[in-house]
Amino acid sequence: MRDETSTPVSLPEIIAHFSEDYFHFGNVVNTPTLSDQQATVIWDLLSLKGGSSVLELGCGYGRISNRLAEKGARVAGLDISPALLKKAEADAAERGLNVEYVLGDMRSLPWRDQFEAAFLWYTTFGYFDDADNERVLREAASSLRKGGRLLIDHANRFAFLRHETPFYVWQHNDDLRIDIVSNDVLSDRRNIERIFVRDGYVRRTHLSFRQYGFSEFVRMLRSAGFVTIEAYGPDGGAFTSDSSSLVVVAHK
């Protein structure tokens, strides 16, 4: 029997999950040094240069978008969370950057034929059912100019199943974030029950995302209009079954 928590999440659930609580633990889960390294990997894999136009879907609080802007790219970021977008805008202002942040749904983008590159980082792909996930890819393709590149960073389900840890705990001062994770092998979805213990309160959120393999990405991306699709590991090297994530780069 399939667990009812393995169904696609709703927009209110996504917004509740990516809240100010999520931001509070941001630098603990993804340290500034790690974020610097990841921004460099994205820059290199997308062949960006000064003046390149790039779109981040699911940009969150701007930890990657703002770093790419510092490197000289012209960046736009879209996210469904008002709380995280405010953090992204504040960080961009503090760094003296001009980044276009837009509140919106990645299944319906306001741009057409505008960007040289786009990306979804830190498993921001797969929240919806298969039809809507593929719609995200078609919208991303439509936002790109001819010859544009799309990068998707996605959790490697093979490594998850082999090295599954039932829970993760992060601490920031006296506050705790606890992630209880499970895999539904019938729906190929990974479920995250998150508990925040902060300022004397306990808050819980739920998130679920579909886990895709490379052959599935090839099928979906070609259907969306991409011509060549490549696989990399999280550091830009070769992808293996032990890689923590699969990084897909597709060319339109």
Q: What is the mean pLDDT of residues 149-163?
A: 89
Q: What is the mean pLDDT of residues 82-105?
A: 98
pLDDT band at 6 (very low <50, low <70, confident <90, very high): low
Edge-to-edge strands, sheet with 144-155: 100-103, 74-79, 53-57, 115-120, 144-155, 245-251, 228-232
Q: What is the mean pLDDT of residues 177-189?
A: 93
Asked, for residue 191, whether it belongs to a domain, the answer is no
- Three-class secondary structure of residue 247 per DSSP: strand
Q: What is the mean pLDDT of residues 225-235?
A: 98
What pTM does this model have?
0.96
Asked, for residue 118, whether it belongs to a domain, the answer is yes
Q: Among residues 88, 105, 100, 107, which one has the least CA distance to residue 22?
A: 88
109: Cβ contacts below 8 Å, ≥ 6 apart:
57, 78, 139, 140, 142, 143
The whole domain housing 147 covers: 4-156+213-251
pLDDT band at 1 (very low <50, low <70, confident <90, very high): very low
Q: What is the mean pLDDT of residues 226-250?
A: 97
Decide if 53 contacts 59 (C-beta within 8 A).
Answer: no
Read off the pLDDT of residues 28-43 as tens digits, 9 standing for 90 and up: 999 999 999 999 999 9
Q: What is the mean pLDDT of residues 210-237?
A: 98
Round to whole Å and give the CA distance between 167 and 178.
7
Decide if 143 contacts 118 (C-beta within 8 A).
Answer: yes
Q: Among residues 102, 98, 108, which one has the least CA distance to residue 73?
A: 98
* pLDDT value of residue 9: 87
Averaged confidence pLDDT in the chain: 95
Asked, for residue 105, whether it belongs to a domain, the answer is yes
Q: What is the mean pLDDT of residues 175-182?
A: 96
Strands 53-57, 74-79: pairing kind: parallel
pLDDT band at 230 (very low <50, low <70, confident <90, very high): very high
Q: What is the mean pLDDT of residues 94-110?
A: 98
Q: What is the mean pLDDT of residues 220-239?
A: 98
pLDDT at 3 over 50: no
Q: What is the mean pLDDT of residues 174-193?
A: 94
Asked, for residue 232, whether it belongs to a domain, the answer is yes
Asked, for residue 178, whether it belongs to a domain, the answer is no
pLDDT band at 160 (very low <50, low <70, confident <90, very high): confident
pLDDT at 2 over 60: no
Round to whole Å and give the CA distance between 85 and 12.
16
Asked, for residue 70, whether it belongs to a domain, the answer is yes
In the chain, the number of structural domains is 1
pLDDT band at 244 (very low <50, low <70, confident <90, very high): very high
Asked, for residue 21, whether it belongs to a domain, the answer is yes
User: How many other C-beta atoms lie within 10 A of the C-beta of residue 88?
Assistant: 24
Poorest-confidence range of 37-46, 75-84, 95-104, 182-191?
182-191
- Three-class secondary structure of residue 24 per DSSP: helix
Q: What is the mean pLDDT of residues 123-135?
A: 97
CATH of the domain at 27: 3.40.50.150
Round to whole Å and give the CA distance between 220 and 86.
33
Asked, for residue 176, whether it belongs to a domain, the answer is no
Q: Among residues 130, 137, 134, 105, which one has the least CA distance to residue 15?
A: 105
DSSP state of 9: P
